[in-house]
């Protein structure tokens, strides 16, 4: 705060001139940080603007000006709220490997380190675990009735629309369990991941997890589909030298 007050004091701006304000964010804990940058502008000659703020003036306008003793506008305020989200370092990649034309169902544990719950900001979830799977939302949330009730939002993000079109119908994720260690402040989220590739491929995605009490974690996922099993062995028996042998077989499309 003192830095900004000293930095902005006595700065002269010409009409339509731009002012750049540096913002440095160094979170010490996995939580949401909030601050407000206030810019106060007054005339260089110290005179007031002729506009008079009255009781009937617009409420938003009253908050955007400072008023002198004569009731005239002494200064103009610009207020910029800043919300800082703490993000954990990127974790190691989770590899999901499955043979093409097969279906893999795998449990994956993701560790959220440095969780700092804020009990006063979180709703009471009762005595039961609840998994909210609202169809209209792409970020399901889970709560439980532990002493440190936490809520998490998760989403599978893709690097491009092309990768999304390839993976979206082949991959499914569901949060099935949460474990909370109060001493180490580590939350373990257990996901059930389904991967059903139709052809050999290698694609990447990122699972982004956000705690409503503050904190953001990103886990890279690599989905690998290996070569499928051989469908059949076709034997062609020769009928003689320099003579053609013909064998027929059917191919069935898996899609339209």
Going along the chain from its start, the domains and CATH numbers come out as: 1-85 (no CATH), 94-116+150-226 (2.60.40.2310)
C-alpha–C-alpha distance, residues 157 and 206, integer Å:
5
C-alpha–C-alpha distance, residues 168 and 205, integer Å:
10
Average of per-residue pLDDT across 168-192: 90
- Percent of the chain clearing pLDDT 70 (strictly above): 79
What is the reported pLDDT for 131? 33
What is the reported pLDDT for 128? 28
For 119, which DSSP code? Answer: G
Residue 247 has pLDDT above 80, yes or no: yes
Residue 144 has pLDDT above 60, yes or no: no
What is the reported pLDDT for 139? 47
188-191: list long-range contacts, CB under 8 Å, 24+ apart: 188/109, 188/110, 188/111, 188/112, 189/109, 189/110, 189/112, 189/152, 189/154, 190/107, 190/108, 190/109, 190/110, 191/107, 191/108, 191/109, 191/110
Please state, as a whole number, how many other Cβ atoms lie within 10 Å of the Cβ of residue 110. 17
Phi, then psi, of 11 in degrees rounded to 5: -80, 130
Question: What residues does 215 pair with on adjacent strands?
Answer: none
By the 8 A CB rule, do 153 and 141 touch?
A: yes
Lowest mean pLDDT among 114-123, 181-190, 192-201, 233-242: 114-123
C-alpha–C-alpha distance, residues 95 and 226, integer Å:
13
For 121, which DSSP code? Answer: G
Q: What is the pLDDT of residues 58-95, one digit of tens each?
A: 666 656 887 777 777 888 888 889 999 899 988 899 99
Residues contacting residue 153 through CB under 8 Å, at least 6 positions apart: 139, 140, 141, 209, 210, 212
Lowest mean pLDDT among 75-79, 203-207, 237-241: 75-79
Residue 125 has pLDDT above 50, yes or no: no
C-alpha–C-alpha distance, residues 20 and 108, integer Å:
45
Please state, as a whole number, how many other Cβ atoms lie within 10 Å of the Cβ of residue 100. 15
What is the reported pLDDT for 67? 77
Residue 117 has pLDDT above 90, yes or no: no
């Amino acid at each position: 705060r003192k830095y900004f007050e000293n930095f902005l004091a006595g700065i002269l701006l010409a009409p339509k001139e731009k002012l750049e304000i540096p913002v440095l964010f160094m979170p010490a804990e996995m939580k949401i940080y909030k601050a407000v940058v206030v810019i106060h502008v007054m005339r260089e000659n110290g005179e007031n603007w002729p506009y008079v703020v009255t009781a009937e003036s617009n409420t938003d306008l009253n908050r955007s000006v400072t008023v002198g003793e004569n009731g005239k506008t002494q200064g103009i305020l610009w207020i910029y709220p800043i919300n800082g989200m703490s993000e954990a370092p990127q974790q190691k990649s989770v590899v999901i490997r499955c043979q093409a034309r097969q279906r893999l169902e795998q449990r994956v544990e993701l560790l959220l380190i440095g969780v700092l719950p804020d009990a006063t900001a979180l709703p009471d979830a009762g005595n039961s675990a609840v998994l909210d799977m609202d169809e209209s939302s792409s970020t399901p949330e889970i709560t439980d009735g532990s002493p440190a009730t936490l809520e998490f939002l998760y989403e599978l993000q893709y690097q491009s629309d092309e990768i999304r079109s390839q993976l979206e119908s082949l991959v499914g994720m569901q949060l099935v369990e949460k474990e909370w260690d109060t001493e180490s402040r580590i939350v373990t989220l257990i996901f059930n991941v389904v991967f059903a590739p139709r052809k050999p491929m290698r694609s990447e995605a990122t699972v982004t997890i956000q705690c409503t009490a503050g904190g953001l974690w990103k886990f890279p996922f690599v989905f690998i589909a290996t070569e499928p099993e051989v469908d059949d062995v076709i034997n062609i028996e020769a009928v003689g030298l320099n003579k053609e042998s013909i064998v027929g077989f059917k191919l069935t499309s898996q899609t339209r």
